[in-house]
Structure 1
């Protein structure tokens, strides 16, 4: 099944995936599978969706309720894909400055990614080399 409509409505949904809904509302026919059981720190489970458009989609759930949606290839806001924008383009398109810039995280391969938080939008954006590489959407 193709899932090519990855439009984002702040604090509501990404494509056909709605925040604060039960993950059980979606089924295996959509490519949904449990990838990580609840951890001891947050108690959240992680689900992923296999997508024919190579999009990696992670759903973080608490008691089966979708708390956040993370995407890495396509997320359209007002017709523009946020992935691949530089930081200035992102801010111009969102029309809001980040309310917090987190500390960079260094991965084993040496990549450094930095989170930008846009709380009024329920958005956390990860930047690497000034380019958006991942987006986490939530309802705050």
Structure 2
């Protein structure tokens, strides 16, 4: 299935909408269970992977709560994945709400989370370049 993975803040990534029931996407997108999400922390979240693209959907009580992409996250006709940190404020129109603590991953890569709460956006940045982007409903955060 070919899809344009356009991000709508606090709402959707491509055809996938936050808050929708996952059942409506399992067959349509041929979702795979994402069993790689074992980070040693107890969680009730269930993960799904979209085949042939590095996009993951996370579900709680059958409801979509976040979507993460490592490939394509289109906003204002530009892909945020691979964008430099210097370009972010221009395209997003704001600075991050919070820049988190950097994390050293098993592969030796150091990544830093950039949070944009009002946009429902979390970016992980490595060497000043966006490595992944997640949409979650920031309007629920208070």
User: Same fold judged by TM-score > 0.5?
Assistant: yes
Q: CA deviation at 1:41?
A: 2.7
What is the CA deviation profile of residues 52-77 of structure 1, one whole-angstrom value per residue up to 9, with x for unaligned ones?
xxx21111100110000000111111
Count of residue pairs brought into register by the alignment = 136
Which residue pairs with 2:132 in the alignment? Answer: 134
Tell me if the contact between 1:37 and 1:45 (Cα under 8 Å) persists in the aligned partners. Answer: no
Q: Which runs of 5+ in 1 are unaligned?
A: none
Q: Which runs of 5+ in 2 are unaligned?
A: none
1:54-93 pair list within 5 angstroms? 55-93=53-91
Q: CA deviation at 1:83?
A: 0.7
Deviation beyond 2 Å, 4+ runs, structure 1 = 36-42
Q: Please, what is the CA RMSD of the aligned residues?
A: 1.7
For residues 25 and 68 of structure 2, the distance between their equivalents in structure 1, rounded to whole angstroms, comes to 16
Q: CA deviation at 1:37?
A: 9.4
For residues 83 and 26 of structure 2, the distance between their equivalents in structure 1, rounded to whole angstroms, comes to 32
The answer to whether the aligner puts 1:124 opposite 2:122 as a matched pair is yes
Q: Give the TM-score taking structure 2 as reference length.
A: 0.89
Tell me if the contact between 1:38 and 1:44 (Cα under 8 Å) persists in the aligned partners. Answer: no
What is the CA deviation profile of residues 92-127 of structure 1, one whole-angstrom value per residue up to 9, with x for unaligned ones?
100110011011111112100100000010000000
Q: CA deviation at 1:38?
A: 9.2
Which residue pairs with 1:2 in the alignment? Answer: 2
Which residue pairs with 2:51 in the alignment? Answer: 50
What is the CA deviation profile of residues 11-63 of structure 1, one whole-angstrom value per residue up to 9, with x for unaligned ones?
00000111110110113342212223998733111111103xxx211111001
For residues 38 and 93 of structure 1, the distance between their equivalents in structure 2, rounded to whole angstroms, comes to 31
Tell me if the contact between 1:11 and 1:121 (Cα under 8 Å) persists in the aligned partners. Answer: yes
Residues 65, 112 of structure 1: CA spacing in aligned structure 2 closer, same or farther, 3 A cutoff?
same
Q: Give the TM-score taking structure 1 as reference length.
A: 0.90
For residues 18 and 29 of structure 1, the distance between their equivalents in structure 2, rounded to whole angstroms, comes to 14
